[in-house]
Structure 1
Amino acid sequence: MTFIAPSADQLIAMRVSAGIEDLAAHDRFSAATPDLVAAIAEGIGALAEGEWAPLNRVGDTQGARWADGTVTLPAGYAEAYRAFVEQGWGSINGPVDFGGQGLPFTLATCVLETLGAANMAFTLLPILTVGAIESLLHHGTPEQQATYLPKLVSGKWSGTMNLTEPQAGSDVGALRTTATPITQGPHAGKYRISGTKIYITFGEHDLAENIVHLVLARTPGAPAGSRGISLFIVPKFHINADGSLGARNDVHCAGIEHKLGINASPTCVMTYGDNNECIGEMVGAENGGLRAMFTMMNSARINVGSQGVQIAERALQQARIYANTRIQSPRAGSPSKEPVAIIEHPDVRRTLLRMRALTEGARALLYYTAGQVDRGALGDEAAQLRAEVLVPMLKAWGTDVGCEVASLGIQVHGGMGFVEETGAAQHYRDARIAPIYEGTNGIQAADLVTRKLGYENGAVLQRLLADVIAEMEDVPEVASLARDAAAVAAWMASTDASLDDRLAGSVPFTTMCAVAVAGWQLARQARTTGDAAKTAVTMFFNRTIAPEARGLGAAAMAGAGLVYQLEAAAL
């Protein structure tokens, strides 16, 4: 299918929801002029449409291929990635000291959203590299930063995140990979890494010159559980003193997973130290690995929330084209008996409008979050805290939206959507991983109602909802939803709700909050632009999606008693 970058709506979201013009008023982001912002949106759109989108289907049908420890991507991927690197797209908001352009995170969000809508699986490669950059920037030594960051920022080297092991999924405290100090020889001061990691995205591939693995492991005598985890840099190739690549490190890909979707993204089983010669160096303090890794994971969670928007956009575009070209049945109640395009039938029209409202609502939440991240980077502590509260909403609801819109896209195609030849099914298969990785959506909701709800004794979240209420008095559906969410938050913060009660209601509560913020930002966009289409989409969102979310209040406050009425065996 033909893919068209959603540049026009991105520009609205960046201007209104992210406040890109306000960001450009600061010296640090002064280069982000309206002309440059538009040029970036249009330029990445051209790369996405011309080189990344055409590879989406071949990536799904052929996929990444493993043979004797080597992973090869389909023809065309190396050239498309080379264009990404040579045009500097990976360096948009990279630190200037290490070759980056120092532009707002909002613009980097636009780059990854556009590429991901064109080819979600492929875009996981730069997403993981962004996380590695963040981790090293905040926790690496000056020497580590000088060695690794210029190549990661440029994209010539890629990064990975190594947490999961066969026996340790979300419970990273159960991992067993070890890191033994080296006291003598050329690697003195470093560590020998030994263990196996699974589900490592782009852990091995043929697109970048080197792969920089960030690996969680335990040092001898480390405390049990998550308190005893440290983080290590383990490059695929050793780096010589002059910065050139040296010999191969003792890290290997033992195989790739056979997955439901994202087949062009190799999900690898990685083995470290098969020959007892895997050399790594510690990042940050000993036993401080989880903190350093969460810096990387927080970035990844925003970008995974973006993946929900990406796949929703792609599914919407394909469904819209199909609905305009598929001729079937006369319009109900029409005097003409001539069959019409199915887009003329009320339920198909409703479905497409729902797809668009969810997609644009999730995009509004994405760019509002990105704008708060940028304000936090400028020293606004309140914005930084607000961004942290928004992240679990974006990751959870954004990826739920991706799944729903992809599923609705199949529905619009009817039986043709259920066969692989049309490609509609690929979007649903690709979308389904996003609510799972980088912390399941249940974990995101738990984070919101435990850690994030406690920020300033609940005041951070309540201020966000109060802002929604204050601006939405003339949009009663959104204002009422925000009031209900604020009431649920107050109940959860009180002694009336146990921890089990909060966790049992966390997912519906997270959805309520996310929809309230998305509806708020859509309304701001419609008011600012006066655009008729944006107004219609916003009205549909407010009158159908917001009331649905308000109806989740009862589930959010139902308590844990209902969940535990049945014994586990009876379930």
Structure 2
Amino acid sequence: MTYRAPIDDFRFIFHHVADLHCATATDRFADATPDVIDAILTEAGKLCEDKLAPLQRVGDQHPARLENGKVRTTPGFAEAYQAIAEGGWVSIGASPDFGGMGLPMAVTTAVNEMMSGACLSLQLNPLMTQGQIEALEHHASDAIKDIYLPKLVTGEWCGTMNLTEPQAGSDVGALSTKAVPNGDGSYAITGQKIYISWGDNDFSANVCHLVLARLPDGKPGTKGISLFLVPKLIPDADGNPGVANTLKVVGLEHKLGLHGSPTCVMQYEGAQGWLIGHEHDGMAAMFTMMNNARLGVGSQGIGVAEAATQHALAYAADRKQGRTPVGDGAGTIMDHADVRRMLLTMKAETFAARSIALACAVAIDLGTATGEAECKARAALLTPIAKAFGTDTGIKVADIGVQVHGGMGVIEETGAAQFSRDVRVTAIYEGTNGIQAMDLVGRKMMDGGEGAFRLLDEIEAHAETARSALPAMAEKVWQASESLREAVEWLVAQSDMTARFAGSVPFLRAFARVLGGHYHLKAALAEGNEGPRVKLARFYINRLLPDHSALLVQAMAGADDLYAMSATELCA
């Protein structure tokens, strides 16, 4: 099975669903003309199909390994990474001031998705560097920017993010890594970090770590944390990699999937680092990196969903089993009703998740270009939905893909199971999907739901527009939006945050369901003439959108039933 970059889908969504033209009409992104974007997508697609996709199975079968303290990467990864770096794909959204292309986040998101679908293990590397570039652009001193950004932008150096410790996972404030001033403007960093994606490699000239640590006068909790840039090799006076820093990889995690991506245990022993941002304000700087990374991780899930769908379609179009209800009854399993249901679900869910992610990216671009608070609020609202629904979709679609393959789905040689294993962690890293949901009903609803209501107003206005051409679908989307509006009203009326959190995951999923219906309806209205997108939209709206009703019942159930059983009873 050969991966095909879904370029036509990106073009369609940009033009008819996510409204990228609103961002490219601004001065900030005026150079991102349709011709430029089309050329970028086409070349990125070729890279993914020709260079990355052939390494998908190789990374699984020949994992990264640690030899004598050095990470040895999967055969072929070094050459493929070089192609990524030389093509400028690490930094298509980075500032031109340091050599980046300065293209919209929407384009970066599309390219990241394609790379994820082709070879997720390798794509994790440039995603981490992109986040570090973003953090340094916003928070680093000019001296740090001048040394590090040009190297990171070209891909000559790679970046990582170091948050987690054995005792401090989602509770970042529990970290124990220490930072002590050296007296020369630098700091000595001591501690251990775990789960560090691409903590080292054997193909870049340097690896630069963003590390959360606590200064001697740092308060307990997140408010006392600072952020430091700690390079593997300390740059000399000319900015070239110099002496080795006192840090090392002490182990690689043995994981369910993503075997080609080295997930490192990092040990810092008085390693020299430099402060990024202000003392005790490290979380603000780190969240600059994490917020865009959350969208990127959502796109990873969507990329795997696309690849798993293509894989399942190819198998179903070839596999014959039993008499089919189509034609002379000698068709493939694609003609069986339940297999057809699974394949349509895979396609419909992937389109919905992709549209949500790209709409989020366009909102980020509009916020960047205009500085308008409403655009930034829209981006903030959509980010946890894009991350959680994108990764949930990847997991669901990959799992359905295994089912489509039947018994062959659990045979590793078919490659179907790898998608399921690789994508599973995306619902966990960069903030678990439960944390995304809590963020949505908590921080993102501190405006009393105004941002959500504005989005629902747009959904209902579009449904009204669609009534003349697609009355049945338009009515169902409108009604679903009204149900969601009532849930938002209930939610913001709850002063007990535990009541909100208890239903946060189903609420987020219901919100995503309604957004998916909206974007499918937009696609159907734009295409018309009973084309494939109209038929796919009808499937989604008739069969998947109704999920929102049951999800909203759960969302508004409160927390009493969760705590009715004692911990002792629960464990009995």
Instruction: With the length of structure 1 as denominator, give the TM-score of the two structures.
Output: 0.96
Mapped partners of 1:342, 1:536: distance in 2: 20
* Partner in structure 1 of residue 450 of structure 2: 459
Q: Work out whether 1:262 is the aligned partner of 2:244.
A: no
Q: Is the 8 A contact 2:403 2:409 kept in 1?
A: yes
Q: Work out whether 1:485 is the aligned partner of 2:481.
A: no
* Partner in structure 1 of residue 385 of structure 2: 393
Mapped partners of 2:480, 2:549: distance in 1: 5
* Partner in structure 2 of residue 375 of structure 1: 366
Mapped partners of 1:228, 1:201: distance in 2: 25
Q: Could you say what secondary structure the match of 2:563 adopts?
A: coil
Q: Could you say what secondary structure the match of 2:14 adopts?
A: helix
**Cα distance, 1:335 vs. partner?**
8.3
Q: Is the 8 A contact 2:506 2:552 kept in 1?
A: yes
**Cα distance, 1:73 vs. partner?**
1.2
Q: Could you say what secondary structure the match of 1:328 adopts?
A: coil
Pick one of 412, 424, 433 that aligns with 2:425. 433
Mapped partners of 1:171, 1:335: distance in 2: 58
Amino acid at match of 1:506: S
**Cα distance, 1:563 vs. partner?**
0.6
Q: Where do residues 87-486 of structure 1 align in structure 2 (5 Å cutoff)? A: 87-183=87-183, 188-273=184-269, 276=270, 278-332=271-325, 336=328, 339-378=330-369, 379-455=371-447, 457-473=448-464, 474=467, 475-486=474-485
**Cα distance, 1:266 vs. partner?**
0.7
Q: Could you say what secondary structure the match of 2:13 adopts?
A: helix
Q: Could you say what secondary structure the match of 1:252 adopts?
A: strand
Q: Could you say what secondary structure the match of 2:101 adopts?
A: coil
Mapped partners of 2:149, 2:174: distance in 1: 30
Per-residue CA deviation, residues 209-237 of structure 1 (Å, 9 max, x unaligned), is 11110000000021111111000000011
**Cα distance, 1:175 vs. partner?**
0.2
Mapped partners of 1:380, 1:545: distance in 2: 34
Instruction: With the length of structure 2 as denominator, give the TM-score of the two structures.
Output: 0.96
* Partner in structure 1 of residue 553 of structure 2: 554
Mapped partners of 1:85, 1:524: distance in 2: 36
**Cα distance, 1:569 vs. partner?**
2.1
Mapped partners of 1:68, 1:538: distance in 2: 54
Amino acid at match of 1:565: A
Per-residue CA deviation, residues 310-342 of structure 1 (Å, 9 max, x unaligned), is 11000000000000000111114x684x54210
Per-residue CA deviation, residues 327-365 of structure 1 (Å, 9 max, x unaligned), is 111114x684x5421001111111100100000110111
Structure 1 residues without counterparts, runs of 5 or longer:
none
Aligned length in residues: 560
Q: Could you say what secondary structure the match of 1:438 adopts?
A: coil
Greater alpha carbon shift after TM alignment, 520-529 vs 150-159 = 520-529
**Cα distance, 1:153 vs. partner?**
1.4
Mapped partners of 2:567, 2:479: distance in 1: 37
Per-residue CA deviation, residues 286-316 of structure 1 (Å, 9 max, x unaligned), is 0000111111110110001111111100000
Mapped partners of 2:245, 2:327: distance in 1: 74
Structure 2 residues without counterparts, runs of 5 or longer:
468-473
* Partner in structure 2 of residue 57 of structure 1: 57
Q: Decide whether aligned partners of structure 1 residues 458 and 335 sit closer, same or farther in structure 2, where only a CA change above 3 A counts.
A: closer
Q: Is the 8 A contact 1:18 1:372 kept in 2?
A: no
Mapped partners of 1:238, 1:87: distance in 2: 27
Q: Decide whether aligned partners of structure 1 residues 569 and 146 sit closer, same or farther in structure 2, where only a CA change above 3 A counts.
A: same
Q: Could you say what secondary structure the match of 1:119 adopts?
A: helix
Q: Could you say what secondary structure the match of 1:472 adopts?
A: helix
**Cα distance, 1:500 vs. partner?**
1.2
**Cα distance, 1:23 vs. partner?**
2.3
Mapped partners of 1:264, 1:414: distance in 2: 26
RMSD: 1.3
Q: Is the 8 A contact 1:121 1:264 kept in 2?
A: yes
Q: Could you say what secondary structure the match of 1:282 adopts?
A: strand
Pick one of 507, 510, 513 that aligns with 1:509. 507
Q: Is the 8 A contact 1:140 1:284 kept in 2?
A: yes
Q: Is the 8 A contact 1:17 1:371 kept in 2?
A: no
* Partner in structure 2 of residue 44 of structure 1: 44
Mapped partners of 1:476, 1:265: distance in 2: 46
Q: Decide whether aligned partners of structure 1 residues 554 and 54 sit closer, same or farther in structure 2, where only a CA change above 3 A counts.
A: same
Q: Is the 8 A contact 1:157 1:212 kept in 2?
A: yes
Q: Is the 8 A contact 2:256 2:421 kept in 1?
A: yes
Mapped partners of 1:242, 1:449: distance in 2: 49
Amino acid at match of 1:396: A
Q: Could you say what secondary structure the match of 1:432 adopts?
A: helix
Q: Is the 8 A contact 1:63 1:263 kept in 2?
A: yes
Amino acid at match of 1:317: Q
Q: Could you say what secondary structure the match of 1:29 adopts?
A: coil
* Partner in structure 1 of residue 10 of structure 2: 10
Greater alpha carbon shift after TM alignment, 475-484 vs 161-170 = 475-484
* Partner in structure 2 of residue 79 of structure 1: 79
Amino acid at match of 1:314: A
Q: Could you say what secondary structure the match of 1:563 adopts?
A: helix
Q: Is the 8 A contact 2:90 2:127 kept in 1?
A: no
Mapped partners of 2:206, 2:243: distance in 1: 11
Mapped partners of 1:138, 1:522: distance in 2: 36
* Partner in structure 2 of residue 519 of structure 1: 517
Q: Is the 8 A contact 1:357 1:541 kept in 2?
A: yes
Q: Is the 8 A contact 1:214 1:231 kept in 2?
A: yes
Mapped partners of 1:197, 1:17: distance in 2: 41
* Partner in structure 1 of residue 470 of structure 2: none
Mapped partners of 2:155, 2:97: distance in 1: 16
Amino acid at match of 1:7: I
Q: Is the 8 A contact 2:93 2:104 kept in 1?
A: yes
Q: Decide whether aligned partners of structure 1 residues 110 and 73 sit closer, same or farther in structure 2, where only a CA change above 3 A counts.
A: same
Sequence identity (%): 45
